[in-house]
Chain A
Amino acid sequence: MTYPLDPALFSDAMKLDPTRAGFGRGLKAAGEANEAVVALCADLTESTQMHLFRDAFPKRFVEIGIAEQNLVTVASGMARAGKIPFTSSYAAFSPGRNWEQIRTTVTLNNQPVKIIGSHAGIYTGKDGATHQMLEDIALMRVLPNMVVVAPGDAIEAEKATKAIAENGKPSYLRLAREKTPVFSLEESPFELGKAYVLKEGTDVLLMGTGTMTYQMLLAAKILAEHGVDAEVVHVPTIKPLDEETILASAKKTGRVVTAEEAQIAGGFGSAVAELLTDTFPMPVKRLGVQDRFGESGDPKEIFEALGLTGEQIAEQVKTWIETTPRYHQE
């Protein structure tokens, strides 16, 4: 089945919406669907869009104050009492500050606590390096039992929120602050653990997670204008990886480029590189933040400084494939 993309993509009519807004709508819907869903926030209720749930279900909302260690451990106790707790803060604080509490009382304890890391990545913009959480994918991905999801746009964030409400597992949801392009439609598929082929191609595989999938789509469009036929795969679930879809596309194209607005060490690109190293070793180029911190500025300026715009990615991929032979299966 062809993945339905929004026809307005790349046009002036392209919709923009922050993934955190999709989360807010999804959480309210999850609360309507299941009475066991409860929400806890660390003094950032509107900012993380939890106010929609709070206003609809005040009895099931818990204000924790600025105490992220308490945020997830209280949630762990509520999960033991039969609830499905969603906890939200900025990713720099949760899971940034409370990683051990998540490790012991959520993942080893195996309780279905949901860690919502809003304002992750570069789209946090002007707040600067302290608040641009770039290490969260790596921190969450190494924890056994943890599901890690970075939705590509606001529509998918809403679907992902509803999905993790019902998966019975510790889960991490990575969200962005600023509005980002909406490439999917309500009818586009989303399932936890699935990756989706957005565009078929044969020369190189471009794989994005989170908001970087849009940049990969843009890069593929530019590459096509230069005669390069790129396949684009969107990977919203970083753990567990959809090995089948990724391997099929990787074998077809023979070389892989990954992109994430996060540290490349231990992140999404690392997960893909691990998979391919174990199965079909082939050239992999990992785009992301290369062992440095972010800085204040408009997100666009920072993306440019880091070489992560669609235009820059197209340029880098073009140069890379000129010098990088593709893997041949036989």
Chain B
Amino acid sequence: MVQLTIPQIEEKANAIRKDIISMLEHAGSGHSAGPLGMADIFAALYFNILNINPKEPEWAERDVFFLSNGHAVPVQYAAMAEAGFFEVEELQTLRQFGSRLQGHPEREKLPGLENTSGPLGSGLSQAAGYAYTLQYIDDVKHRFVYVMMGDGELNEGNIWEAAMFAGKNKLSQLVAFIDRNNIQIDGNTEDVMPLEDLKGKWEAFGWHVIEIDGHNIESVIDATSQARAITNRPTVIIAHTIPGKGVDFMEYDYKWHGMPPNAEQAKTALEKLRTLDGKITHEGAGV
């Protein structure tokens, strides 16, 4: 896999955001805030961190990425398309009848997906099962298993069953991300069902915890390097993100958790993303 430089990855993150806005507007339903907030992490994963081959999704030597919060899949579809798993044009089929891009990800529909998810709380277990197999049964040390979780989904008991299991077994090839954007459908996570002390909770379960700015691509890459270097514990990266990041009228507003932009809102959002909120004056490729 070609590893891009940080400025190149930032450009990919912007391309992913534009893809998300355009595909959600076209689909007329779906989640906006989470996927936009995770665009930088997914750009870092698919263009630097994951050892994968888009032309050979089942490559036996690959790193494995599980998406636990399946509703955030537009950001994964966009990252996969930008990375070359399929044509970017296919993103416009999101949520349409007959599309490989189901509203929530289905492994058998689209090569490159490692799991089927949507109902929350099960992705960490699946990643842990894969990591356990590598570490204890197949004795494969050079492959890593990554998983993305939402913060709201940490309400689910299944997550903490998996956290105990991974901690007990010191699954050091397991690297978990939490998209800590503080929103869930009914409001702020700390109002709906408080998660703090989040770092303390994971440490108590036997995990190495790293807290980062989830929009700083260098931090994302550094955190995963550190995680891979820790050989006696699983690592969780609490990535603080801004929901809706990159589109000012969506940022920080939980109402955009489960809502797509309409045509007018999408146009405004795309203009902002094209110019990086007015910071650049020349335009790249058309939308």
- Tell me the dominant secondary structure on chain A's binding face: helix
Tell me which of B126, B131, B157 contacts A105 (CB under 8 A).
Answer: B126
Q: In B111-161, which residues have CB < 8 Å from any A CB?
A: 114-119, 121-122, 125-134, 136-138, 157-158, 161
B114 touches A104 (CB 8 A): no
Interface membership of A70, Cβ < 8 A:
yes
Kindly list chain B residues whose C-beta atoms are within 8 Å of the C-beta of A81: 64, 129-130, 133-134, 138
A79 to B132, CA, bound (A): 12
Which residue from chain A places its CB closest to the CB of B169 in the assembled complex?
Answer: A62
B115 touches A70 (CB 8 A): no
B132 touches A78 (CB 8 A): yes
Known contacts A81-B130, A81-B134, A81-B138: does B119 contact A76 (CB below 8 Å)?
no
Interface membership of A122, Cβ < 8 A:
no
A77 touches B66 (CB 8 A): yes
Interface membership of B4, Cβ < 8 A:
no
A73 to B108, CA, bound (A): 17
Known contacts A104-B117, A108-B106: does B158 contact A74 (CB below 8 Å)?
no
Kindly list chain A residues whose C-beta atoms are within 8 Å of the C-beta of B157: 69
Please tell me the number of chain B residues within 8 Å of chain A, measured between CB atoms. 32
Please tell me the number of chain A residues within 8 Å of chain B, measured between CB atoms. 28
Interface membership of A60, Cβ < 8 A:
yes
* B163 CB, min distance to chain A CBs, angstroms: 10
A76 touches B161 (CB 8 A): no
Known contacts A73-B122, A77-B127: does B164 contact A109 (CB below 8 Å)?
no
Which residue from chain B places its CB closest to the CB of A113 in the assembled complex?
Answer: B129
Q: In A13-49, which residues have CB < 8 Å from any B CB?
A: 38
A73 touches B162 (CB 8 A): yes
Which residue from chain B places its CB closest to the CB of A75 in the assembled complex?
Answer: B129
Kindly list chain A residues whose C-beta atoms are within 8 Å of the C-beta of B64: 80-81
Name B's A-contacting residues (CB within 8 A). 64, 66, 106-108, 114-119, 121-122, 125-134, 136-138, 157-158, 161-162, 164-165
User: Can you report 28 residue pairs joining A to B where beta carbons are below 8 Å apart?
Assistant: A38-B137, A59-B137, A64-B165, A65-B164, A65-B165, A69-B158, A70-B158, A70-B162, A73-B122, A74-B126, A75-B129, A77-B129, A77-B130, A80-B64, A80-B114, A80-B129, A83-B137, A101-B122, A101-B158, A104-B116, A104-B118, A104-B119, A104-B122, A105-B125, A108-B116, A109-B116, A110-B107, A110-B108
